Amino acid sequence: MNPFSTPPNSPPSDPTVADVLATKAILLSLSLPLELTDAIIDYAEYWPHTSAVLPGTTPALGDYFLIRTLPLGCLSSSPSTDPSRAPVPASQDKMTLYLFPPNETEASKAATAALYSAWAQSSQPREAHPCRKIVFKFRSRDQGWGGDLRDRGTYNGSFTWLDVGRERARVVDENEIDLFERSRKKGAESDVEKKLAWNVESVVPPLKNDGSPKSSQAWLDPGDRPPTVELDHPFLPHDKTLQKNRTATKDAEDYTIVWRWDDNIDAESGDAEDLEMAGRGKATGNGEFVRSLEVGDVKQCPEVPTGRQAQPATMASSFVPRAVFPPNLNLPRSYFLGHHAAGLSKMVTMLSHIDLIIECRDYRVPLTSRNPLFEGSLAGRQRLVVYTKRDLGSRNRPADKAREAIIQDWHKPQQVLFSDHKSKRDVRSVLAFAKHHAQELDSLTGSRMLIVGMPNVGKSSLLNALRLEGVNRGKAAYTGAQPGITRKIASGVKIVDRNPETGSEGVYLVDTPGVFVPFVPDPESMLKLALCGSVKDTIIAPTTLVDYLLFHINKHDPKIYREYCEPTNDVLEMLNAVCHKTGRLQKGGVPDIEAAALWLIQRWRQGNLGCFVLDEVEEDGLAKKMQEEVGTSLSQAKKAKKEAQRQRSKTRYLEGKA
């Protein structure tokens, strides 16, 4: 749970009808379509914001900050000695602030507090975590030469990077103002500076020394500056670095980085490692910097940041996800096709020639993707269970490792492997097991192994990966997003070459069609299998699957879909928002709900809408699952359904008669 997801309530923004009509008139004057104008009005967000822009290109010739935002809460760059003065618009490029060591007087502290109060009143931010988010947009590159050849074009060994600093605005006293005025060149233009009533202290990075005031604007003439106050900039990129440039790359890249107050990526998690791979600091995804900002803080950056303050409205913290998903007894409960039964029968006849069975189960549904048919039909042969698609359900977090330990305990003393077919390390683990098993058999004719599993659990993908890693050959089995690509048992595919020392003919793996269970006892298991792609997308309505997906996303992290809409339990609200955001509209601007639903399903299957497990993994989870399977058949389920319908009809009849 995010410990920062419950901020105190603040007054919501409540635009009047006149405000809305005036905004709509402005939008229509731009010749925008009426549908687009209405969408902008409907999805508008209201919060004060400030921007700071550095025009043109600026070379970074040393360690200093090039740009500042206005202090948080200040909506004007024209400071005043009167804290009650209403802020007025002024151009950002005229804002010149000077860096002071922390030597405030009591009078200065009181005046600073009054100034903060005036800023807070004018901008109406939240009392806690008043900054909602910061958006950094910049174009940057390394110097284009040098560095280790192996690091070029990557974020390793970068010579240049971008950092973010934090300063606190404060009211200066008279002797500091005099010192500042005397430090300027005689005759220098200082109309703006003469109005200066506040300056800044550095919070991040800390000061190196306690010198006199110094301008930290890079473009001022050094002759204009008083004796320096040096900042202790980091010597190397660190875990709070905004962005590193690609090493020795001359082509500039465009970056857009968003820091939000409610970000919650642990610095030791797999998501943090993804940030590091993208050239960002591992500790920049936890939202700590944004949450630490207070009214009066100034953000500074080598490039172009845009600060957005808190929206004075109730945020997503009040959202409560559904505790349970409502059961739907009318869902299809079987997908046991003709080629499933034929394939299973053929496997049984082949058992006498098979040395090892590799059973694939989907990592996201480790219990539901278990097929009890294999337990009885393919008994008598050693089995290796491989949980595939690990990359779609795990980020190598401590919770993921604990889950895998529980799954391993289910199968003891039998060995279990977890695999991502794109990971060479995982594929090599499966290959090593197959080699070791073949060596123990010591067969002169080679070893034949069978790969089995439910439809679309990744059997063919694993076979192709084993073949590529084992004998450096291309694909031997067709793969696809829908189940049923493999319909017949193929001939053996070599995954381990002949061993000249032992004379073994190698290892051959036989691909088989996926086999579904004849009957799924509970509707939710059917939803899980359909969402993971074990049944065709035409069997269950896409909107139903997305509703179930939304249920799980909300339990894990509603921020996953924040680019489309605020957290919601209403699937139609979410799908309508996705249609408008992605342009999935039919003639007349009507949202294409089904197209949006199919698109969201595919995004989740590809790992782009969160990576999480659908099954509840508990220590006794496998035993419970096996107990549920005992005595449940399709005919029994039909009888139970008819009996339930009969009881409902009888109840309605008696109520009507009464």
CB contact set of 456 (below 8 Å; sequence gap of 6+): 482, 483, 514, 532, 533, 534
- Give the predicted TM-score (pTM) of the model: 0.51
* Beta-bridge partners for 92: none
Question: What is the pLDDT of the chain when averaged over all its residues?
Answer: 76
If you average pLDDT over each of 322-326, 327-331, 402-406, which comes out highest?
Answer: 402-406
Cα–Cα distances in Å, from 307 out to 137, 290, 529, 562? 11, 10, 44, 19
* Pairing label, strands 447-453, 356-362: parallel
C-beta of residue 357 within 8 angstroms of C-beta of residue 452: yes
Instruction: Note the pLDDT of residue 466.
Output: 93
Q: Tens digits of per-residue pLDDT, 402-431?
A: 999 999 999 988 889 999 988 999 999 999
Q: Tens digits of per-residue pLDDT, 366-388?
A: 999 999 999 888 888 899 999 99
Q: Tens digits of per-residue pLDDT, 299-318?
A: 666 433 333 233 332 333 45
Helix (H, G, I), strand (E, B) or coil at 283: helix
pLDDT band at residue 95 using 50, 70 and 90 as cut-offs: very low
Average pLDDT over residues 47-58: 72
pLDDT band at residue 363 using 50, 70 and 90 as cut-offs: very high
Q: Tens digits of per-residue pLDDT, 154-167?
A: 888 777 888 888 88
CA 115, CA 166: separation in Å to the nearest integer? 18
Instruction: Note the pLDDT of residue 550.
Output: 96
Please state whether the peptide bond connecting residue 205 to the residue before it is cis, i.e. omega within 30 degrees of 0.
Answer: yes
Length of the chain: 658
The residue type of 383 is R
Instruction: Give long-range contacts, CB 8 A cutoff, 24+ apart: 408-412.
Output: 409/619, 410/621, 410/622, 411/385
Instruction: Note the pLDDT of residue 499.
Output: 73
Examine the pLDDT at 186 and tell me if it is beyond 70: no
Q: Tens digits of per-residue pLDDT, 601-627?
A: 999 999 999 999 999 998 888 888 877
Q: Tens digits of per-residue pLDDT, 539-573?
A: 899 999 999 999 999 998 898 998 899 899 999 99
CB atoms within 10 A of CB 622: 18
CA 585, CA 578: separation in Å to the nearest integer? 10
Average pLDDT over residues 103-122: 73
Instruction: Note the pLDDT of residue 597.
Output: 94
Of 108, 13, 44, 121, the residue nearest 75 (C-alpha) = 121
Examine the pLDDT at 228 and tell me if it is beyond 60: no
In 457-592, alpha helices (H): 459-471, 523-531, 542-556, 571-582
Examine the pLDDT at 17 and tell me if it is beyond 80: no
Cα–Cα distances in Å, from 182 out to 81, 156, 185, 210, 219? 20, 47, 8, 19, 20
Q: Which residue in this structure is represented by tokens 């008043």?
A: 130
Instruction: Note the pLDDT of residue 170.
Output: 75
Q: Tens digits of per-residue pLDDT, 425-482?
A: 999 999 999 988 888 887 777 889 999 999 999 998 999 999 999 888 877 666 655 5
Please state whether the peptide bond connecting residue 413 to the residue before it is cis, i.e. omega within 30 degrees of 0.
Answer: yes
Lowest mean pLDDT among 59-63, 256-260, 328-332, 343-347: 59-63
